[in-house]
Chains A and B, each alone.
Chain A
Amino acid sequence: MQTTHIRNFSIIAHIDHGKSTLADRLIERTGMLTEREMKEQVLDSMDLERERGITIKAQTVRLTYKTKDGETYELNLIDTPGHVDFTYEVSRSLAACEGALLVVDATQGVEAQTLANVYMALEHDLEIVPVINKVDLPSADPEKVKKEIEDAIGLDASNAVLTSAKTGLGVDDILEAIVNLIPPPSGDEKKPLRALIFDSYFDSYKGVIANIRLIDGLIKKGMELQMMATGKVFEVTDIGCFQPAPVEVPQLAAGDVGFIAGSLKNVRDVRVGDTVTTTENPAPEPLPGYRGVTPMVYCGLYPVDSADYDNLKDALEKLQLNDAALVFEPETSVALGFGYRCGFLGLLHMDVIQERLEREYHLELITTAPSVIYHVHTTAGEMIAVDNPAKLPPPQNIDFIEEPFVKATVIVPNDYVGAVMQVSQDKRGEYKSMDYLDTNRVMLIYHIPLSEIIYDYFDQLKSTTRGYASLDYELADYQPSKLVKLDILLNGEPVDALSTIVFSDQAAHRGRQLAQKLRELIPKQMFEIPIQAAVGSKIVARENVRAYRKDVLAKCYGGDITRKRKLLEKQKEGKKRMKAVGSVEVPQEAFMAVLKIH
């Protein structure tokens, strides 16, 4: 296919604004799948993705479209992950496109995350095609949304395509707009090969498969290729594109989107953002924008049953095959024994990994509260990166501590500006700016510690704005903060896995809340259990779990043994999910208690 007849595009949309449904319609309309083959939301293939209604791994699909004037075009839809944890992955997907559909819900308007992605697309000089979705709903107000797009983003929305992905209305107009408005790719297949990896995944038969966009040059089977960042050399054994099932093609040329596989066994060799070139005639410069993986959030993962330690390791290694962003290393906790410290792109990424470990590998896990990476400057003049509160050096050795801050963008109806300001201030946010997107909606920008975002900032925003606030954030910088370690003692013994690093002024308050929460979560035992929160040697809070008085049930009604058995089985099951810390049985949830206090 000549590059003049290729269009590469993404879809930018807020969660629930209908991206996946629209993708389904485009696939259906271009006849890539028969209706029978059409499953709801074809592109979100992981079970978890479908349950959560979000895209975690990006996918691509090649559509063949015959325009109204009879020309046939190759349209490559590059799906992007829809969550703030995966901003870098989104940026690489966008870099593989010349244009993007900006899908906005006609009943909701522009949201913070959409905005962030649009700005990112504009940075990559993408042509943005505004699409207003869900116009079939009674509460749709396309004119207002058009104005919002113009005011908030500065895009001309007068020609925005009005559509309903649900009913199929306007889908043809979108396809025509893609062909007419988005420019064709401009590469040169004579030049040395430069292909951008925007996604990769592990296939148990073919090894690592890289999704690529060719900027210049050509790839054929059997060629020897090289990753410019990792240096990995490999021979191409498979080459193809997704329609949406993988289909082999003889070659991929400049402008094309497709996949390649070779003798690649490790996803770590195939980094998103890396440039593929040939060993024979390598490109002088890689494509711009490559960045190594930098986890933002760390937590400890421990098997409830220590016999599962090796199984946990195997499972993490298997997940890592398909997830270059997951990092882990062995860790030991006095309280929890042997486990792993794991790094994630964000909270969602952490949740997903945890859930997959439990669901797909049947592991019972204890997860410690997530932590950001603190830069601890010691009195000896060193800087130590601390991702585990238990590893914080003693206070006398600390000169000062820096913590990561983010630029947080919040979009909210103007009635809730006060609420957002209150929550943000409580969370140590520093006000930066406020802009009206239209007469009703406001965009606020705060400089705020990442730890507060992880803790419960978004939950608080959601609850104080009755769900209207949308949030996006990006890492801004590290700044010094007054931070201290808050320890928890159970039965007089410090439990390292329950330690957290908190803002000093809030330490006593957090300590009280955490102790109260733990009192609710730790079940009664044979003896009274004091729960104490301490900063250094100073106890800031104390609660008690009272001792069990008795535990026996009386009657057996008319020989109903089955009911008795069920009660006992429940009791035994509950005990299995507990971890013995010293002499105290602690349930899994207790280790995440810090996230559950407000």
Chain B
Amino acid sequence: MEYGVYIHIPFCRQKCSYCDFSSIAGHEADMEKYTDALCRELAAKGETLSSLGNASTIYIGGGTPTALPVPLLAHVIQTVRAVVPTTNNLEFTVEANPGTVTLETMTMLSTLGVNRVSIGAQVFDDAILKRIGRIHTSQDIRDAVRWARAALIVDVSVDLMYGLPGQTMDILKWSVGSSMDLAVTHISVYGLTVEDGTPFAREKAAGTLNLPTEEAEEEMYDYLAETLPKFGFRRYEISNYARHDFLCRHNLGYWQDRPYFGFGAAAHSYHNGKRTANTKDVGAYIKAVERDESPAHTEETVTREKHIEEFCFLALRTAKGIDRQKFSESFGCEVESLYPKTVDNLKARKYLEETPTHFRLTPLGMKFGNQAFAAFLL
């Protein structure tokens, strides 16, 4: 069996104003304790992983993995390499914040076998970067990409955001152009969602957020969907575009019902019909691991019904869509026999199209993906 491994680093230099994800700022004293615990959790799982097969992808995400001092991050990577058996064509990604990397960081990553970096660029406009609470400038992004290349990491992805406060179409175009100049291999695009409890949610309530209009935001979405393919970036998933074969295989694993094992606070695992999640509380996580207790906080058995639903709505995020043969092999029935109304209805609304091998979302269907996904809940 091949599987993915995810490692969560919950630290950030500073929390971005839109972020409601599991990360904490300004806890540098905890970093050493945390990485110790993380390595301990990995070591404890080593035998189980070996008995199951090899990891084909490893992904260190956050938070900001590169917020860790280089020796600590190196220690984590070395431990992973020592503990997790891997396939020959391993994809090993580390997320990096341009404000926290140097040539030294990239060299260390490359030397230890990391072959893909995902850089949180967001936008190439210093005023907006500051406005949204990022700790870097657009020059920092350029430097980060160049250093990665200097360290011989070929596969470089950038994250771009649209719908940011003060962002115009021109600023978005400039960001896309800048990414092209850097010859990145992969781009993830995210529309800003204002999540409850974030500084942006408070600003929105107070009326000071200055977001683009919905029409402007839609234009930005359309621009990205139309323009990126012209530059040779194939849209292989709703928010992900890749040149050539530089798809992110780790993220594809989530959409394609493949097993994965998560390590660290707030990390999720999916294996053997169960979804588990580690506690988000860094202190509680460290304590549990130190006592050799499981840091898992929630465990959910994926029933057959849930499995079918998830199989569909996750696969529909990908350009290929639902693999009809794989579906019938997994569940012993056809998609259209289980979802006759949904399939007809979504086809009539031009959200869904049928090929001999797949059911997939049309570009329109991708734009209203949530409605299509919700229709696959039984």
Q: Give chain A's interface residues, CB within 8 Å of chain B.
A: 526, 546, 548-562, 564-565, 567-569, 571-572, 575
- B146 interface contact, C-beta 8 A: no
The answer on a CB contact under 8 Å between B369 and A552 is yes
User: Which of B31-39, B104-112, B123-131, B212-220 interfaces with chain A?
Assistant: B212-220
- A552 nearest in chain B by CB position: B369
Contact A558 B374 (CB under 8 A): no
Contacting pair B189 A562 (CB below 8 A): no
Residue from the list A556, A560, A567 in contact with B370, Cβ < 8 A: A567
Residues of B within 8 A of A555 (CB): 188, 190, 239
**Which residues on the A side are within 8 Å of B193 (C-beta)?**
553-554
Q: Are B266 and A562 in contact (CB under 8 A)?
A: no
Chain B contact residues, majority secondary structure: mixed
Chain B contacts with A in 1-27, Cβ cutoff 8 A: 4, 6, 8, 21-22
- Besides A554-B193, A554-B239, A560-B277, 4 more A-B contacts (Cβ < 8 Å) are A554-B190, A554-B238, A556-B254, A558-B8
Contact A561 B270 (CB under 8 A): yes
Interfacial residues of chain B within 334-378, with CB under 8 A of chain A in the complex? 366-371, 373-374, 377
User: Counting CB contacts under 8 A, is B290 at the interface?
Assistant: no
Within 8 A of A (CB), among B303-337: 306, 309-310, 313-314
In the complex, are the beta carbons of A568 and B374 less than 8 A apart?
yes
Q: For the complex, what is the distance from the CA of A550 to the CA of B310, rounded to whole Å?
A: 22
* Chain A proximity of B365: nearest CB distance (Å): 9
Q: Which residues of A contact B314 (CB under 8 A)?
A: 561
Contact B368 A550 (CB under 8 A): yes
Chain B interface residues (CB < 8 Å from chain A)? 4, 6, 8, 21-22, 61, 188-191, 193, 214-215, 217-218, 221, 238-239, 251, 254, 260, 262, 266-270, 275, 277, 298, 300, 306, 309-310, 313-314, 366-371, 373-374, 377
26 A-B pairs in the complex with CB atoms less than 8 angstroms apart: A546-B214, A548-B368, A549-B214, A549-B215, A549-B218, A551-B368, A552-B368, A555-B188, A555-B239, A557-B21, A558-B262, A558-B267, A558-B268, A559-B4, A559-B268, A559-B270, A560-B277, A561-B314, A562-B275, A562-B298, A564-B313, A565-B306, A565-B309, A568-B373, A571-B374, A572-B377
Q: How far is the CB of A322 from chain B (nearest CB, A)?
A: 38
Closest A residue, CB atoms, query B268: A559
Complex contacts, A557 vs chain B, CB 8 Å: 21-22, 61
**Please, which residues of chain B bring their CB within 8 A of the CB of A567?**
370
Please indicate the chain A residues that have their CB under 8 angstroms from the CB of B377 in the complex.
Answer: 568-569, 572
> Nearest residue in A to B59 (C-beta to C-beta)?
A558
Q: Is B370's CB under 8 angstroms from A553's CB? A: yes
Check B239 against A551 for contact (C-beta < 8 Å).
Answer: no
Distance to closest chain B CB from A452 (angstroms) = 34
With both beta carbons as reference points, the residue of chain B lying nearest to A575 in the complex is identified as B374
Q: Are A565 and B368 interface neighbours, CB within 8 A?
A: no
Closest 4 CB pairs of A and B: A552-B369, A549-B218, A554-B190, A559-B268
Residues of B within 8 A of A546 (CB): 214
> Could you tell me the distance between the alpha carbons of A564 and B370 in the complex, rounded to whole angstroms?
10
For the complex, give the distance between the alpha carbons of A564 and B316 in Å.
13
Q: Identify which of A546, A561, A564 gathers the most chain B CB atoms within 10 Å of its CB.
A: A561
Question: Which residues from B are CB-within-8-Å of A571?
Answer: 370-371, 374
Cα distance A90–B214 when bound, in Å?
57
Chain A residues lying within 8 Å of B275, measured Cβ to Cβ, are 561-562
CB-CB nearest in chain B for A571: B374
Q: How far is the CA of A549 from the CA of B163 in the complex (A)?
A: 13
A568 and B254 contact, CB distance less than 8 A: no
Interchain CA distance A50-B193 in the complex, whole Å: 42
Residues of chain B with a CB closer than 8 A to A551's CB: 367-371
Contact B310 A558 (CB under 8 A): no
Expressed in whole angstroms, the Cα–Cα distance for A567 and B313 within the complex equals 12
CB distance from A305 to the nearest CB of B (A): 15
In the assembled complex, how far is the CB of residue A432 from the closest CB belonging to chain B, in whole angstroms?
46
Task: Assess whether A561 is in contact with B254, with CB atoms less than 8 Å apart.
Answer: yes
Decide: A550 and B189 in contact? CB cutoff 8 A: no
Q: Is there an interface contact between A562 and B190, defined as CB atoms closer than 8 Å?
A: no
- Provide the residues of chain A in CB contact with B22, threshold 8 Å: 557
Assuming A549-B218, A550-B218, A554-B189, is B277 touching A562 (CB within 8 A)? yes
Contacts of B370 in A (CB 8 A): 551-553, 567-568, 571
| Nearest CB in chain B: distance from A583 CB, A | 12
Contact check, A565 vs B310: say whether CB atoms are below 8 A apart.
yes
Distance of A559 Cα from B277 Cα, bound (Å): 10
Closest chain B CB from A597 CB (angstroms): 23
B268-A561 in contact (CB<8A): yes
Q: Which residues of B contact A526 (CB under 8 A)?
A: 368
Shortest B267–chain A CB gap in Å is 6
A21 to chain B, nearest CB (A): 41
B217 near A549 with CB under 8 A, answer yes
Residues of B within 8 A of A575 (CB): 374
A559 to chain B, nearest CB (A): 4
Q: Which residues of B contact A564 (CB under 8 A)?
A: 313
The reply to whether B371 and A561 contact each other, CB–CB distance below 8 Å, is: no
Residues of A within 8 A of B313 (CB): 564, 568
Within the complex, the shortest CB–CB distance from B345 to chain A, in Å, comes to 12
Chain A residues near B374 (CB-CB < 8 A): 568-569, 571-572, 575
Chain A hits for B251, CB < 8 A: 556
Return A79 CB to nearest CB of chain B, in Å. Answer: 46
The reply to whether B254 and A559 form a contact with Cβ atoms under 8 Å apart is yes
A34 vs B94: C-alpha distance when bound (angstroms): 70
Q: Known contacts A552-B238, A554-B189, A554-B191: does B367 contact A561 (CB below 8 Å)?
A: no
Closest-CB distance, A567 to chain B (whole angstroms):
7
Question: Residues of A contacting B217 with CB < 8 Å?
Answer: 549-550
Q: Which residues from chain B contact A561 at a C-beta distance below 8 Å?
A: 254, 268, 270, 275, 310, 314
Chain B residues with CB under 8 Å of A568's CB are 313, 370, 373-374, 377
Output the least CB separation between A328 and chain B (Å). 33
Question: Is A552's CB under 8 angstroms from B266's CB?
Answer: no
How far, in whole Å, are A568 and B6 apart by their CA atoms in the complex?
24
Are A550's CB and B367's CB within 8 A? yes
Taking CB atoms, residues of chain A closer than 8 Å to B239 are 554-555
Query: Closest residue of chain A to B310, judged by CB?
Result: A561
Partner of A550, one of B190, B221, B267, B268: B221
Docked complex Cα distance between A518 and B298 (Å): 41
CA distance A153 to B336 in the complex (A): 76
Within 8 Å CB of A548, what residues of B? 368
When distances are taken between beta carbons in the complex, the residues of chain B under 8 Å from A550 are 191, 217-218, 221, 367-368
